[in-house]
Amino acid sequence: MDKMWAGRFQKALDKEADDFNSSIHFDCRMYRQDIKGSMAHAAMLGAKGIISKEDSEKIIDGLSGILEDLDSGRLSFDYGCEDIHMFVEQVLTERLGDVGKKLHTARSRNDQVALDIRMYLRDETNELIALIKDLLGAITEQAKAHKSTIMPGYTHLQRAQPITFGHHIMAYAMMLSRDIGRLEDAMKRMNYSPLGSCALAGTTYDTDREMTAKALGFDGITLNSIDGVSDRDFCAELMSAYAVIMMHLSRFSEEIILWSSWEFKFIELDDSYTTGSSIMPQKKNSDMAELVRGKTGRVYGDLFAMLTVLKGLPLAYNKDMQEDKEAVFDSIDTVKKCVSIFSPMIRTMKVFPENMYKAAQGGFINATDIADYLVKKGMPFRSAYKIVGQIVALCIEKKTVLDELPLDEYRKFSELFGEDLYDEISLEACVAKRISAGGTGLASVEKQIDYINGLIK
């Protein structure tokens, strides 16, 4: 079939060039947004008398028939078409004849595609937010069950201070809650309709861009037609928010992988989210978490592809911009898949409090608390810090731990040590005493859980 733009040409496009140029095999996924955008446009053309009311209604009916037929599978995409926009217009014209040819009045594929991606990403990002909220639900459920489960907290992956498992995983809940904020924020900036910018300069017709913007759920219109069709900053912005989500999930994944190892054995993932080895019968691998960690690289790559495609492009539309879609689609698909596999993986994860407790008992994790003990009895912190360092060295030499070193040994370092020391430095006491806001104490963790639960309601 002749291209819609064939009028100016004497020869048909080379077959390979045609395939190279075509985007329908990936932009077809925006068909719903494309058709809804066209329906709003046709309604506006009718309302403004640019086409007759009757034609406008015919076009809208025709488009809604195409939408139904694509949804139900009665109509399938013609991959010989250049892109989804051409395909819809072609089917409309096949069905309606000349009336169908009126749809593209006062519009261009440039504003059409800029509109479609915005609408598509709005739908997808809202779905992503719902998935993140579900993951937050899974995290708070585990945190609630383990708000008093003691584990070692780490810095430099060295045992540092006792914390609770609930407190630890709520850190990820906070990160993910900010991720939702980032997505919502980027969507606010994106939510202005470029439709009616036309090819780049606007149009000679008396259009009503506010009308289409409102009908399609936008907060307003893009104020500069060249900007409206040329920029994809909203893609880059959303994709950087997606990349940050992946960064968070990859850190969580890394810990899940470590915790599942025999060296830690803090948790065990459910069989339904782990895999075995083809040769080593004993293995239970955290493949899902590893894949999420791996796919983070892919989402970072998509962001860089997008930024690089846009870099140095002159205004206004350039075909380079067709390269935006595969990157942004891959990015949102990957993040959605990762978030949705994470929720049940967290929900079904088994926690081993005894192993966490045992790990917390080693490693002189309560050393800071002994220093604080001396400080409370009047010693300056730096002096207390030094003494406790020497006591730790003694324990290492004697192959014992702080809780078991006899009082007379302690008193060789300072007369301030008394019988009350052992109660003060028990793991339970160390956690319970951390009453500062946001700390690992029970009330603080409960407050964090309430905050997140309020957010996802």
- Quick check: is 156 catalytic? yes
* Cα–Cα distance measured from residue 19 to residue 26, given in angstroms and rounded to the nearest whole number: 12
Q: CA angle, 82 as apex, 77 and 86 as ends, to 5°?
A: 70
CB neighbour list of residue 264: distance below 8 Å, 6 or more residues apart = 258, 355, 359
Q: Based on the shown chain and the rule CB under 6 A, indicate whether residue 348 belongs to the binding site for ligand ARG.
A: no
One of 102, 109, 147, 167 touching ligand ARG (CB under 6 A) = 109
- Residue 55 beta carbon to ligand ARG: minimum distance, rounded to whole angstroms: 25
How does DSSP classify residue 271? G
User: With respect to ligand ARG, which residue has the nearer C-beta, 321 or 338?
Assistant: 321
E strand or H helix at 106, and its extent?
Answer: none
> Which stretch in 127-135, 210-218, 319-327, 410-418 sits in contact with ligand ARG by CB under 6 A?
319-327
Tokens read off for 300: 């970072």
Q: Based on the shown chain and the rule CB under 6 A, indicate whether residue 335 belongs to the binding site for ligand ARG.
A: no
* Cα–Cα distance measured from residue 43 to residue 60, given in angstroms and rounded to the nearest whole number: 7
Residue (of 286, 111, 274, 127) closest to 199 by Cα position: 111
Q: Based on the shown chain and the rule CB under 6 A, indicate whether residue 88 belongs to the binding site for ligand ARG.
A: no
| Letter string b/e over residues 358-396, b meaning 16 or more CB atoms within 10 A of that residue's CB | ebbbebbbbbbbbbbbbbeeebeeeebbebbeebbebbe
- Residue 25 beta carbon to ligand ARG: minimum distance, rounded to whole angstroms: 11
User: With respect to ligand ARG, which residue has the nearer C-beta, 110 or 296?
Assistant: 110
- Residue 18 beta carbon to ligand ARG: minimum distance, rounded to whole angstroms: 13
Q: Based on the shown chain and the rule CB under 6 A, indicate whether residue 110 belongs to the binding site for ligand ARG.
A: yes
Residue count at the site for ligand ARG (CB under 6 A)?
10
76, 156, 272, 278: which is the annotated catalytic residue? 156
User: With respect to ligand ARG, which residue has the nearer C-beta, 4 or 211?
Assistant: 4
Q: CA angle, 120 as apex, 114 and 124 as ends, to 5°?
A: 145
- Dihedrals phi, psi of 151, to nearest 5 degrees: -140, 165
Q: CA angle, 84 as apex, 213 and 34 as ends, to 5°?
A: 20
Cβ(307)–Cβ(236) below 8 Å: yes
Residue (of 104, 65, 106) closest to 86 by Cα position: 104
Which residues from 210-269 bind ligand ARG, rule CB under 6 A? none
Which residues from 19-58 bind ligand ARG, rule CB under 6 A? 23, 27
> Which stretch in 63-71, 108-116, 179-187, 263-271 sits in contact with ligand ARG by CB under 6 A?
108-116
- Residue 255 beta carbon to ligand ARG: minimum distance, rounded to whole angstroms: 40
Tokens read off for 64: 């809604």
- Residue 43 beta carbon to ligand ARG: minimum distance, rounded to whole angstroms: 22
One of 83, 89, 237, 372 touching ligand ARG (CB under 6 A) = 83
Q: Based on the shown chain and the rule CB under 6 A, indicate whether residue 139 belongs to the binding site for ligand ARG.
A: no
* Cα–Cα distance measured from residue 237 to residue 226, given in angstroms and rounded to the nearest whole number: 19
Residue (of 99, 108, 98) closest to 37 by Cα position: 108
User: With respect to ligand ARG, which residue has the nearer C-beta, 319 or 457?
Assistant: 319
- Residue 24 beta carbon to ligand ARG: minimum distance, rounded to whole angstroms: 8
Amino acid identity at 335: V
User: With respect to ligand ARG, which residue has the nearer C-beta, 107 or 336?
Assistant: 107
52, 261, 277, 383: which is the annotated catalytic residue? 277
One of 87, 259, 317, 342 touching ligand ARG (CB under 6 A) = 317
CB neighbour list of residue 120: distance below 8 Å, 6 or more residues apart = 29, 30, 33
How crowded is the C-beta side of 162, counted as CA atoms within 13 Å?
29
User: With respect to ligand ARG, which residue has the nearer C-beta, 60 or 117?
Assistant: 117
Tokens read off for 223: 């104020």
User: With respect to ligand ARG, which residue has the nearer C-beta, 172 or 317?
Assistant: 317
- Residue 195 beta carbon to ligand ARG: minimum distance, rounded to whole angstroms: 13
Q: Are strands 267-268 and 350-351 parallel, antiparallel or unpaired?
A: antiparallel
User: With respect to ligand ARG, which residue has the nearer C-beta, 321 or 388?
Assistant: 321
Q: Based on the shown chain and the rule CB under 6 A, indicate whether residue 322 belongs to the binding site for ligand ARG.
A: yes
One of 103, 106, 113, 269 touching ligand ARG (CB under 6 A) = 113
One of 321, 359, 430, 456 touching ligand ARG (CB under 6 A) = 321
* Cα–Cα distance measured from residue 438 to residue 65, given in angstroms and rounded to the nearest whole number: 56
* Cα–Cα distance measured from residue 210 to residue 216, given in angstroms and rounded to the nearest whole number: 10
- Residue 119 beta carbon to ligand ARG: minimum distance, rounded to whole angstroms: 14
- Quick check: is 76 catalytic? no
Q: State the residues that interact with ligand ARG by CB under 6 A.
A: 23, 27, 83, 109-110, 113, 317, 319, 321-322
Catalytic residues: 156, 277
